[in-house]
Structure 1
């Protein structure tokens, strides 16, 4: 007999309601029953209460049924018991007969650790524990529009066990603490959240239509399914995602999270429908570091990168505190087809491991602190598998829905051209490039170098109008556009004829180039030494002097590199560059080409189609208004 009710004058063991509650079954089911008893109601009134409760999906709801106060209590009890139909089969059954490692030494009652009909805290639902008084460190993020405070409501009740500050066996209805086999407090592990909740999904904030509208990627709360239950005032608590009495989906989730079903019910990320991380069938089997619950990237979905509790760090609840590790754990050749880690290990590249500053999604599109992270160029919620085949594309599929900077210098929320992504760091921020060639007109702002108003520029932001390009290879017709990655790409990428991933991740060549581009003076000419230039400009045409009557003499006989005279990006009209003209990408390397000692001039003059004159000192020889062709 239930020790709480055995002396109750209105509830006899011979009554139908008592017999309904006391029917033996193989597993414990009842709220205040010892293990081995069931609260499944057979009484008609109890059955009606259970049916109404299930339809409403309101665990623990009181049902006003005509009759005595005892009958009302009994129906409330039966309704609550129905919601707890399977709790005894879960690790929330802390009784001695529970299935988990954490359980009592001798206590046989299942639900007493949270609930009791009398002598409780007065909080719903018949709460049998003290409420923790800890001051919690809560989740904060630059991208969080909600304003969570200290935990309240149901979340505070959950924390009475899960913050580890109150003994598991400390219940209000007992004078003495229930003794546990594994120690008084919740042992360390994923379920022990502690008082630092900065690495846990935020709770105790009002989830309103206004919040969803301000965020732009949250579902309106009125569209949420019934399984997602908000508080009475619309606040989001632990119970929005977890049902403490039902573990059918694992982790007591209210919906399955395979393929991100639970997460994407609220989080509706732009671009996710076609994203690789949603569709990839790459298997993660054999990987233990991520703690992934499912077999493929698509099945894990959001869980591939994020952990809602005890995350690796407070930044966006990622698996690991080091941002790049969240990407490289798959993109190291073991899961994803694209082995990016091997690329980053090369001598030249965008290696995030070399920088201490961190990426922040709320930072300006024009980066104001020098750093490199995968998320600076790639949106993990929208990036798609890289396209195959050649041809010009304004922006690659791996860069979709990434922020950028326009050719005019304005911030762009979604870059439409590849160069707009590059301009985040290599334009007005003017990130220095190691080993850059010192030039007559010097700037590291490539946005200015590609302006179509310049005297000359490589056609990245706009097509070139020059007709003086007789050396172009047949597959690069006049008027073509280039992408930054036509030059700055992996040396082993598929666009360059290799088998590795494309993109400016790493290269064995300086300046993160796809092919060799020697800038040292006294370099013997060869197809390999200037392979990057010869990718678009035919070597036979250059060495036959079709575009400049002394190309062969300079490159072959004098062993002068292409970079001694030509700048690879362009020459800005807005940057001081001395006297002379800067057509044909003429912008001298000042370590090789120096001013004429007599006049002090260092200049090139354009005198017409394929002709000009130079005044300078190079290789010990003065050129004073020396014209070509002679």
Structure 2
């Protein structure tokens, strides 16, 4: 009887642990997050469609099967006119940042997509779907346009007061492989025969020298004929993981996001 009781108790503990694990996974899902634009729209609850499509994607945006037209906006970026200490090359807004800004620059509706959800909704020029209001926010499903469910971070097209994007990481020199001493030296590896860079973070369970979602990803861009690592929006943000609220790759406790790259 005692053995049976112990076995039963062990089973209960294991079940509780599994249940707790399941809850933890659910909390990190895009489902129900601020990037879940299907909430309250009645569009078959197709979360992925607002960013991705399996066919007919926007090929000018460097993001997988992107389902939103590039906004075509002209941006002002953070450069040497803003900071005299800036010593990395600055390129025009491009790479994966174009994907982020196609929603967050405020120039087009959040539910403007190339292919709408469901069958026979291919629209090459984009489409307005769902119940988006004119303020860049998803409306209350009860019909009250003044009760937003998912307020959108509209950073506009003037990026001079935002963290630099399209900027060479720490004045990185591909010839010497040495970065500015004010920055953590990035890790590098050949991935699918292409040189990639990232900054390892000290997340629990993370592997040093292995590129993971909790690392600060640096993006390859052609800088005068040489591919080099650049900081983009998705260097610090993971759009699929809302666990840190603002989709940061790691929590910013003790300024950990900043100090992952900056030596201070």
Q: Is the 8 A contact 1:209 1:221 kept in 2?
A: no
Distance 1:147 1:243 in 2: 24
Q: Are 1:129 and 2:68 counterparts? A: yes
The CA distance in 2 between the partners of 1:88 and 1:265, in whole Å, is 28
Aligned to 1:87: 30
Name the CA distance, whole Å, in 2 between partners of 1:143 and 1:186.
Answer: 37
Could you say which residue in structure 2 is the equivalent of 1:337?
Answer: none
Query: How far apart are the structure 1 equivalents of 2:152 and 2:55?
Result: 32
User: Is 2:70–2:99's contact at 8 Å kept on the other side of the alignment?
Assistant: yes
Report the equivalent of 1:193.
155
Q: Is the 8 A contact 2:105 2:155 kept in 1?
A: yes
Asked if 1 retains the 8 angstrom alpha-carbon contact of 2:88 and 2:172, the reply is: no
Which residue does the alignment assign to 2:225?
A: none
Q: What is residue 167 of structure 2 aligned with on the other side?
A: 205
Q: TM-score, normalised by structure 2?
A: 0.61
Residue of 229, 232, 250 corresponding to 1:255: 250
1:116 aligns with 2:53: yes
Matched, 1:139 2:78: yes
Q: How many Å separate the matches in 2 of 1:126 and 1:150?
A: 22
The correspondence of residues 549-588 of structure 1 with structure 2, limited to 5 A, is: none
**Aligned runs of 1:468-483 on 2, under 5 Å?**
none
- Partner in structure 2 of residue 230 of structure 1: 218
Higher RCO (Cα < 8 Å, 6 or more apart): 2
Aligned to 1:533: none
Decide which of 86, 90, 108 is 1:166's aligned counterpart.
108
Which segments of 5 or more consecutive residues in structure 1 lack a partner in the other structure? Answer: 1-81, 98-103, 270-630
Aligned residues of 1:186 and 1:192 also touching (Cα < 8 A): no
In structure 2, relative to structure 1, the CA distance for the partners of 1:131 and 1:214 (3 Å cut) is same
Residue 260 of structure 1: CA displacement?
A: 1.0
Q: Hey, what's the Cα distance between the residues in 2 that align with 1:155 and 1:90?
A: 20
Could you tell me how far 1:105 is from its partner in structure 2? 5.5
Q: Which has the larger radius of gyration?
A: 1
Identify the residue that residue 193 of structure 2 maps to in structure 1.
Answer: none
What is the Cα deviation at residue 146 of structure 1? 1.6
Deviation at 1:150, TM superposition (A): 2.1
Q: State the distance in 1 between where 2:153 and 2:36 align.
A: 15
1:150 to 1:186, Cα distance in 2 relative to 1, 3 A = farther
Which among 161, 173, 180 is matched to residue 131 of structure 2?
A: 180
The residue number in structure 2 matching 1:367 is none
Q: Indicate if the aligned counterparts of 1:230 and 1:237 stay in contact, CA closer than 8 A.
A: yes
> How much has 1:190 moved relative to structure 2?
7.5
Taking the aligned partners of 1:266 and 1:132, their CA distance within structure 2 comes to 30
Query: Tell me, what secondary structure is at the counterpart of 2:111?
Result: coil
Work out whether residues 96 and 107 of structure 1, in 8 Å CA contact, stay in contact via their aligned partners in 2.
no
Equivalent residues in 2 for 1:146-545, closer than 5 Å = 146-174=88-116, 175=123, 176-183=127-134, 185=136, 191-207=153-169, 209-210=172-173, 215-222=180-187, 224-225=199-200, 226=211, 227-233=215-221, 234-269=229-264
Listed one character per residue, the Cα deviations across residues 56-78 of structure 1 (whole Å, up to 9, x for unaligned) are: xxxxxxxxxxxxxxxxxxxxxxx
Counterparts of 2:105 and 2:156 in 1: how far apart (Å)?
4
The answer for unaligned runs of 5 or more in structure 2 is: 1-24, 117-122, 139-147, 188-197, 201-210, 222-228
Is the Cα–Cα contact under 8 Å of residues 111 and 132 in structure 2 kept in the other structure? no
User: What's the C-alpha RMSD, in Å, of the aligned pairs?
Assistant: 2.8
Deviations 1:280-327 (A, max 9, x none): xxxxxxxxxxxxxxxxxxxxxxxxxxxxxxxxxxxxxxxxxxxxxxxx
Once the two structures are TM-superposed, the CA of residue 168 in structure 1 deviates from its matched residue by 1.1
- 1:66-85 matches, within 5 Å, as none
Deviation at 1:149, TM superposition (A): 2.7
Q: Please state if 1:96 is matched with 2:39.
A: yes
Contact preservation (8 Å) 1:218, 1:268? yes
Q: Is the 8 A contact 1:161 1:186 kept in 2?
A: no
- Output the CA distance in 1 between the equivalents of 2:152 and 2:76: 17
Given that residues 228 and 254 in structure 1 are in contact (C-alpha distance below 8 angstroms), is that contact kept between their aligned partners in structure 2? yes
Kindly tell me the number of residue pairs found equivalent between the two proteins.
180
Bigger strand share:
2
Answer yes or no: is the 8 Å Cα contact 2:237–2:248 preserved in 1.
Answer: yes
1:180, distance to aligned residue in structure 2 (A): 2.6
Distance of aligned partners of 1:139 and 1:253 in 2 relative to their CA distance in 1, 3 Å threshold: same
- Per-residue CA deviation, residues 455-487 of structure 1 (Å, 9 max, x unaligned), is xxxxxxxxxxxxxxxxxxxxxxxxxxxxxxxxx
SS for the counterpart of 1:171 is strand
- After superposition, the Cα gap between the structure-2 partners of 1:120 and 1:254, relative to the gap in structure 1 and judged at 3 Å, is same
TM-score normalised by length of structure 1: 0.27
